[in-house]
Structure 1
Amino acid sequence: MLSYTYLLINFFTVFICFIFSFHHKIKFNKHFGAFFAASFIIGSVFIIWDAWFTKIGVWWFNDKYITGIKILQLPIEEVLFFICIPFSCLFTYFCLDKFFKLDWKPVPEKIFVIISILITLSIGLYFNEKIYTSLTFITTACSLFVLYFVLKSRWIGKASFIYLLLMPGFLLVNGILTGTGLESPIVNYNQNDFIGVRIFTIPIEDTIYGYELILWNIYLFLKFKK
């Protein structure tokens, strides 16, 4: 039964959101096509990144908690992660945006984006010898710049606030993956490749990695939804 642990984490992450997608007041199911198109494109990029980091030993997976089925040398559960997590996050974004007024005013949002770019870029450059830290923070800085200043996305403030609201769920899921409540972690990290700051058992880099993943999923989802 332990071999289904990661698979069950994915299942329970997405199950409730999937059921409520068909609610007559939400109707997120009408946008499944947009979601899967966005998820496929963005997920492919992150899966390649994931496979590369696995190959060079930045992180690896505990065989005790996975079924053993692999794609690109990644556990099938890890591939499903890039569908299940974005689905739950996008469903939450869709619902909150539908029922609440969460848009930011232009000036505060611009200030937030600029400060976020400067902070993430500075951290990425300062810890340039730590590949997980450096690549994650620098690409997030670049993503924020491109999304806001090039692609003119004016929902980053709102998306960032919703991502903050999702943090308890993120900490629960990633906490289990990184060892909370288990004898050993499902996902293990090379201590030489990240700065070592953790939220409970979760490397701080994971929160930024997830943030970048969700931002790009939202961007393409909104494009395809039109």
Structure 2
Amino acid sequence: MSLYLWIIFGTIVFPFLLSFDKKIHFYTHWKTGFPAILLVGLFFLVWDNYFTVHEVWGFNSKYVQGIYLFRLPLEEVLFFLVVPYACLFVYEVIKGYFPNLKLDLLGRAFAFAMVLSGLLLTIFYLKNWYTMTACSLSSLLIIGIHFRLKAQWFNYFALAFLVCLIPFLIVNGALTGFFTDEPVVWYSESHIVGIRIGTIPLEDLYYNLSMLLPIVFIHEALKKHKKKS
């Protein structure tokens, strides 16, 4: 089994097994979670494939199985199912175990920090495809969902995102060469700022936020519709 596939397996095994926990019973959210993951994942697969074709990033053949969907290895396709599932699981666990947290200050601080930094990075690095797209999209999503729509669940999303930074650093570190001589996923230096958290490009934070926030938005919208019906 390839290194990338082992990373995927390690990412999903505990969230999946704990999905049947008696308090949270995350499996009951599959009817709203999976449609959200698949819908957003389709968009990101197209984006991912386009950037791979144009060599904004790419994959080391030494660490993948060799099965491809267009230009994307099987493991990369699974990434867009496994990582959102794990993060959505963390989000629901935090909501379930800590339903009365006062998170207004955290939510506002998180939103302002991500929007301000995202917009500044977009303005100053317009020619960097990865920087510009990831940072601008994450900023626009927060502006629309938090500041305009005032989604009540956003504060819990902010906390869940910060909690997920711990496994994020481990998983993305493994993918970007922190534990290996060569990275599983490489990035073109001409399309990133060059600031890295260990071996992880700064843009990955904004990219992951851009992926996870609309998933939670759709998930919560479907839950609300389900309750009404």
Question: Which TM-score band (shorter chain)?
Answer: over 0.9
The separation in 2 between residues aligned to 1:178 and 1:206, in whole angstroms, is 11
Partners of 2:131 and 2:191 within 8 A in 1: yes
Matching residue within 74, 95, 99 for 1:97 = 95
Partner of 1:187: 185
Residues 110 and 158 in structure 2, CA contact (< 8 A), matched pair in contact too: no
Cα separation, 2, equivalents of 1:170 and 1:14 = 13
In structure 2, the partner of 1:10 is 8
Q: Distance in 1 between matches of 2:102 and 2:33?
A: 21
CA deviations on 1:120-146 (whole Å, 9 max, x unpaired) are 112111111111111111111111111
Amino acid of the residue matched to residue 125 of structure 1? I
- 1:108 deviation in Å? 6.5
1:1-226 to structure 2, matched below 5 A, reads 1=1, 4-100=2-98, 101-105=100-104, 109-110=107-108, 112-226=110-224
Residue type at the aligned position of 2:16: F
Displacement, 1:151? 3.3
Distance change (3 Å), C-alpha of 1:172 and 1:55: same
Query: Taking every aligned residue pair, what percent have the same amino acid on both sides?
Result: 35
Post-superposition CA distance 1:55-102 (Å, at most 9, x none): 100000001111111113211110110110011111011011111133
| Alignment CA distance shift 1:112-1:165 (3 Å) | closer
What one-letter code is carried by the residue in structure 1 that aligns with 2:97? Answer: F
Equivalent AA in structure 2 for residue 148 of structure 1: H
Q: CA, structure 1 residues 171+108, in 2 after alignment: closer, same or farther (shift >3 Å)?
A: closer
Contact 2:176–2:199 (CA under 8 A) maintained in structure 1: yes
Residue 212 of structure 1: how far off its partner (Å): 1.7
Alpha-carbon distance in 2 for matches of 1:198, 1:34: 35
Structure 2: tracts of 5 or more residues without a match: 225-229
Residues 161 and 108 of structure 1: is their aligned pair in 2 closer, same or farther, counting only changes over 3 Å?
Answer: closer
Give the CA deviation at 1:154.
Answer: 2.5
The secondary structure found in structure 1 opposite 2:186 is: strand
- Across the aligned residues of Structure 1 and Structure 2, the Cα RMSD in angstroms comes to 1.6
3-state SS, counterpart of residue 181 of structure 2: coil
- Do the aligned residues in 1 keep the contact of 2:59 with 2:186 (CA within 8 Å)? yes
TM-score (norm 1): 0.93
Measure how far apart 1:103 and its partner are. Answer: 4.7
Give TM-score, length-normalised by structure 2. Answer: 0.91
Distance 2:115 2:188 in 1: 26
